[in-house]
Amino acid sequence: MRANDQSSSTPKTNKPVVEQHIPIKNVKIHGSKNTGKERYKPGDQIYVRKVSGFFQKLRQRMNLVYFAFFLMLPWLQFNGHQAVLFDISEQRFTIFNLTLWPQDLTLLAWFFILGAFLLFFVTTFLGRVWCGYMCPQTVWTFIFIWFEEKIEGTANQRRKLDGQKMTSNKVIRKTLKHSAWLLFSLFTAMTFAGYFSPMQDLFVDVFTLDTSVMMAGILAFFTFATYGNAGWMRETVCLHMCPYARFQSAMFDKDTLTVAYDAERGEGRGARGRKQDHKAMGLGDCIDCNLCVEVCPTGIDIRNGLQYECINCGSCVDACSGVMSKMNYPQGLIRYTTEHELKGKKVHLVRSKLIGYAVLLVIMSTMLLLEIVNRVPLSLDIIRDRTELARENFNGEIENVYTLKILNMSQTDNTYKLSVKGIENTLWHGKQEVLVEAATVYTLPISISVDPYELEKYMSNITFVVEQVSPESDARIEQESRFFNKR
């Protein structure tokens, strides 16, 4: 009854229901000139504008040293051989007077671990300076951009050229640019291959068209890899392919030096005359010239805050510093700084995280150095005769046959003396003093015989000893084996 009363008391209406919409307004973020556009699309062409300044000069000089080092290192000779050669076919890595073999895998592991922790230490302290100043992808990208500037002109000229229809001028410039890229990529591939194959022979074979099919394939692969990475993909490699960009945040803290925009000083942004009082106009120091975006090789706007795409190259710092000088404003609107400094807090350059990495670096460097110093450049492999473990010779002695493989891991020809211990009154049948050439394996078949009365068990432990006698050295190695009695 109550339900009927309630329903009957409800007024009935035939008016249509009108939906209400909330009005949406597009808002410009931080005064950006790219309203309504994404800040970056993988398919976008980034025309990097040339900029000069302290950090660009520093980067260019570091790139020059790095490239010269990469270029000249495989040409260096040391003691009559290539100073640096990673000969994979011979399973031998030569680094000046140090030769590493598969037996030295732990040394290579230490090198890689030490390099990783050094990168962690630098990143915690200075952010992604490796990416901005030393990474091969960045170095080669800026070299390719230099070719672009010399052949096609400035960023605006390159943008205008790409927007034009295909003309003879455009065809000539594009052909010259891509030809220069390909030739430089081939030169890079040949230099890189020189680290793994004798450099002088490689260049002679290439210019006489006498390379093997495998080497030709390797050179072609690295040529087009360099051409694609530095010429076409560029920032895509940094943003989407490099794993370092993804896990760098785990090493950052609020005292890490990174390139940052001082929003408190720069906002609000806006154009103004150089002689106008921008403070009276309610404006900050940023004139919204967008130069910091135009010079960025990854196409980001540093004014939007810390972004994983930033490679800390300092291009935006130099661009902004130039604008601040022209406007007679203080330097440092965009600068290398820390999050704590931007917030007016105390900066701790020496902190627990940094100390931890430094301690680990010292420990690992010490262990690596000790392993190199205590490394014996000598190896011995013992192969027993599997067809007959033991036999009785014509003198009634028990004889075991072995094949000794002596590896001289040094870079000089050495003479070694061989002996055996573990059983009294053994007789050695074969050479006991051999000359082994540098970085080679000497195979020596020998046999050991013993009077059966000296053998108490069916199997006895013996130790082969190899000692270097010429040139005089304390290089010595011992290797254990077994001696079997005849049942």
The model's pLDDT over 312-361, given as tens digits with 9 standing for 90+, comes to 999 999 999 999 999 999 999 999 999 999 999 999 988 998 999 999 99
Chain centroid offset of residue 221 CA: 19
pLDDT at 37 > cutoff 70: no
Contact of 296 with 279, CB cutoff 8 Å: no
pLDDT of residue 79: 84
Residue 145, Cβ neighbours under 10 Å: how many? Answer: 20
In a domain, 12, yes or no: no
Answer yes or no: do 364 and 389 share one domain. Answer: no
In a domain, 31, yes or no: no
In a domain, 453, yes or no: yes
Report which of 405, 463, 413, 472 is spatially closest to residue 437, judged by C-alpha positions.
413
Q: Which residue among 360, 375, 390 closes a domain?
A: 375
In a domain, 81, yes or no: yes
Average of per-residue pLDDT across 220-246: 91
pLDDT of residue 11: 46
pLDDT of residue 247: 80
Answer yes or no: do 386 and 305 share one domain. Answer: no
Answer yes or no: do 330 and 464 share one domain. Answer: no
Whole-angstrom CA distances from 77 to 43, 84, 95, 197 are 45, 8, 11, 14
Q: Which residue among 375, 390, 412 closes a domain?
A: 375
The model's pLDDT over 289-302, given as tens digits with 9 standing for 90+, comes to 999 999 999 999 99
pLDDT of residue 20: 52
What is the distance between the terminal CA atoms of the chain, rounded to a whole angstrom? 112
Burial 230-266 (b: 16+ CB within 10 A, else e): bbebbbebbbeeeebbeebeebbbebbbbbbbbbeeb
Answer yes or no: do 101 and 199 share one domain. Answer: yes
- pTM of the full predicted structure? 0.80
**Band of the pLDDT at 104, cuts 50, 70, 90?**
confident
**Band of the pLDDT at 16, cuts 50, 70, 90?**
low
Q: Which residue among 375, 399, 423 closes a domain?
A: 375
Answer yes or no: do 385 and 303 share one domain. Answer: no
For residues 361, 364, 368, 370, the Cα torsion angle rounded to the nearest 10 degrees is 110
In a domain, 405, yes or no: yes
Answer yes or no: do 90 and 234 share one domain. Answer: yes
Q: Whole-number mean pLDDT of the chain?
A: 88
CATH number, domain containing residue 389: 2.60.40.10
Is residue 406 classed as helix, strand or coil in its secondary structure?
A: strand
DSSP for 190-242, written as a single string: HHHHTTTS-HHHHHHHHHTT---HHHHHHHHHHHHHHIIIIIIITHHIIIII-
Q: What sign has the CA pseudo-torsion 160, 161, 162, 164?
A: positive
pLDDT of residue 14: 53
**99 vs 172, residue with greater confidence:** 172
pLDDT of residue 372: 87
Q: Which structural domain, as residue segments, surrounds residue 416? A: 378-484
Answer yes or no: do 241 and 141 share one domain. Answer: yes
pLDDT of residue 6: 43
Answer yes or no: do 463 and 346 share one domain. Answer: no
Answer yes or no: do 148 and 238 share one domain. Answer: yes
Answer yes or no: do 162 and 283 share one domain. Answer: yes
Average of per-residue pLDDT across 270-281: 91
In a domain, 32, yes or no: no
In a domain, 186, yes or no: yes
pLDDT of residue 386: 81
Burial 18-30 (b: 16+ CB within 10 A, else e): eeeeeeeeeeeeb
323 residue type, one letter: V
Query: Domains in the chain: how many in total?
Result: 2
Sequence-separated (6 or more) residues with CB below 8 Å from residue 69: none
Share of the chain above pLDDT 70, in %: 91
Cα–Cα dist 129/206, whole Å: 37
Answer yes or no: do 411 and 320 share one domain. Answer: no
Answer yes or no: do 93 and 152 share one domain. Answer: yes
Average of per-residue pLDDT across 140-167: 94
Cα–Cα dist 126/130, whole Å: 9
Q: Can you list the positions of beta strands (E) in 243-357?
A: 258-261, 334-337
In a domain, 26, yes or no: no
